[in-house]
Every structure is written in C-alpha cells, then in structure tokens.
Amino acid sequence: MSSDTAPGAVQLIVPKRFGDARGWFTEVYSAAAFAKRGITCQFVQDNHSLSQPKFTLRGMHFQTPPHGQDKLVRCIRGRIYDVAVDVRRDSPTYGQWVGAELSAENGHQLFVPVGFAHAFLTLEEDCEVSYKVSGQYAPECDGGIRWDDPAIGIDWPMPEGTVPETSDKDKLLPLLADFDSPFEYNGVPLSPLPVSA
C-alpha cells in the first residue's frame, strides 16, 4: 500500500490478492498498513447491506459532530459505484465529488473520512456492501444531502432517464445549498482518485 497520501483524504485502496488453484487470499484491513496511509481512526462497528434491485441508490449520508464517522467501504457481492462529496465548510473543494467502482471481483475499497457525504449505486442485482465505521450510529446526528443535487452534478453510471430505487428518507434530504455544514476543513482538499493505489 502507498504511504504518500495525506491524512484525512478520501482514498481508493487496492489490497493485494495472493492466488493459486484454490482461489485467493487478501488482507482487507491492517491497522499498521492503514496507518502508513494516514488512516489512524479506530473502527468500532461493521455494517452490511443487501440491495436487491439493480440501480438501488443509498445516500448521500453522513453523521455530524460530535459523532462523525470515517468509513471504509467494500463490495463483497456484485458491483457498486461508490461516491464521496466534500461537505466541509471553507474547503476549496466544497461540493466536489469523487467516485470509484467497487466490486467483489476487483476487491477495491474506498476510505471516506469525516466531512464527506457518502453514497453508492448498485450496478447489478443482489449487491452486498460491507463497511467499517469509526463511530457508533447516533440518530440525532444522522444527516445527508440529495443524491441528485444539480449543483454537485454526480455522473451516476446509469442509463439516461433511469430513476434509482431510493428510500423515502433519502428522497427528503436537502440540497447542498440548504445545508449548513458543521464540518471543519482540515487543510486537505479533495483530490482525484488514482486508477490504482
């Protein structure tokens, strides 16, 4: 794993796989290896979701301070398009986004630090997503912004005119312009994700 990434950055992580005739083995998390990448948070909870319809969209979600959550996301069945949006006030990249395809086949993971809204779109039926978080769920700090906010302009990989499956709760999330961000900028602007990490 690369060690030249700034702490607090959104990162695409590509764990190595070691394969033979039986299949493969991979290390998906190591505190020591992640610390070399500037990821030193302590993960306290693992979440697992199943999304049955293709083009299910979950997000854009976050937890506000004092219960912000860093997330480490991976797809363990199927394929998803995973997105992070900078919602840190005074950030020079406020409202900008990055995205990457995560799949059971490629094994890639996305690290999403506190201060970024997170969402994913399933690209196949029956997708399972597993992710670690650095804070317990706190309903009073649960928040989000609209997945289809035109001011953000996320290029979701779905056919034109497709209406994704979303929750009733996500349909009521505010636009970024109506969101008063409690997240502070940490001096690390959002950077494009590399093809590999």
Contact 194, 10 (CB under 8 A): no
The active-site residue out of 81, 108, 118, 131 is 131
pTM listed for this prediction: 0.94
Closest CA to 64 of 19, 13, 117, 16: 117
Q: How far apart are CA 133 and CA 178, in angstroms?
A: 26
- Check residue 7 and give its pLDDT: 66
* DSSP, residue by residue, 140-168: GGEEE--TT-TTT----SS-TT---B--H
Q: Is the pLDDT of residue 1 over 80?
A: no
Structure tokens at 103: 């799949």
pLDDT tens-digit map of 102-126: 999 999 999 999 999 999 999 999 9
pLDDT tens-digit map of 136-147: 999 999 999 999
pLDDT tens-digit map of 20-36: 999 999 999 999 999 99
Q: Is the pLDDT of residue 6 over 70?
A: no
The verdict on whether 81 is a catalytic residue reads no
pLDDT tens-digit map of 54-76: 999 999 999 999 999 999 999 99
The active-site residue out of 61, 81, 108, 118 is 61
| Domains defined for the chain, CATH in brackets | 43-178 (2.60.120.10)
